[in-house]
Structure 1
Amino acid sequence: MGREKFYIIAPSHWIGNCARNSILFQNKKINVISNCIDHERYKPVDKFLARDLFRLPQDKKLILFGASKERDEDNLDIKEHYLGKLMDDISLNLLYSAVDVFVAPSLQDNLPNTIVESLATGTPCVAFNIGGMSDLISSELFGSLVDKVDLVSLAGSIVKSLQTKHKQNVIAKNSFMIRNENCIAQEYDEVYKFYINQNNE
């Protein structure tokens, strides 16, 4: 049996399983290592201050989600605050910190940066249980996974998350322990050393 020519590292268990089930990689060793995030750029900010900077209400529960444009019609009895496109880390960090929950209603995704960023700021997330979402929202500490893909289930999980007393600093601390740059670098280092030693045998 010849030596392996290359090795696979997947950022989520979902995409790792996709690779294992493929013809090309089904006999390859696949390691799963999450993407890291800079916790100096994304970290908890005082919610009152963050809301004040965006001129958001201090006495309301705020739900964050992405939208390409402001809606023309409003059929819901819910106040909207369209903030336009935010491109820089400072603004994004402040916005994640300002809200009570971030919702990612994607029907197909791997390991979305939006959820990684939100958790780093200590804001819980709600998402459908697809792709790599379960790697990020691995317990109720980080928010809620929606198993059934429909609006009623999604709405129920959002309400549940809003009613749960999430602790911003606890979420951020656990995110740091899992995805800080040194931790991820160490995981890569261990994989490199393992295969180097294996090939030298």
Structure 2
Amino acid sequence: MAKPYFTGNVPGIKMAQVMTPEQMAKIIKKAKRKIVVTGAQLKEVNEAIKLADGAIIAAPNMLQAFKEKGATPVAMNKVNATNLLRDASNWKGLDGKGPYDMAIYMGSPYYYESQMLSCLKHFSSCKTISISRFYQPNATYSFDNLSEKKWEQALADLLSSWRSRNGRKIPCRNRSRVRR
């Protein structure tokens, strides 16, 4: 069993499953509607954009970094984003197409992200993934506690596995013949 980065952060019997990057890639691929929620300490802007496929909530101070990369995230703090994800019956997502079934959290202080994930764990059906260096017991899925170097490699492996599983469009003149 993984140990929380903060030893006092033991939220009970329901704790996150520790996943390898390849396992996380499979889980992210299965999500019907996912959203990436980033915090003020995000350094991996490119990675967040790749994982999001468009649905990104960025901390207001990170907005410019995303725009420089060509992404158009919604600027919102994590507390508001978490409350919207928690209330799936009233919030139909950033695009109005319905609630999200998976939220990927990254780029926040450990203690802050832990509280947001705890809220969703107890009051939402939305599954959560924490892509941070440290094990987040309140997420549905999390990496184990990793050194900086191992975490960077795990993030690269996650993106590599996700890209290879995400499927490439096959060039075809008659699309009606392509099985989906």
Fold match by TM threshold 0.5: no
Larger relative contact order, structure 1 or 2 (CA cutoff 8 Å, min sep 6): 2
TM-score range, shorter chain: 0.3 to 0.5
Give the structure-2-normalised TM-score: 0.33
Give the structure-1-normalised TM-score: 0.30
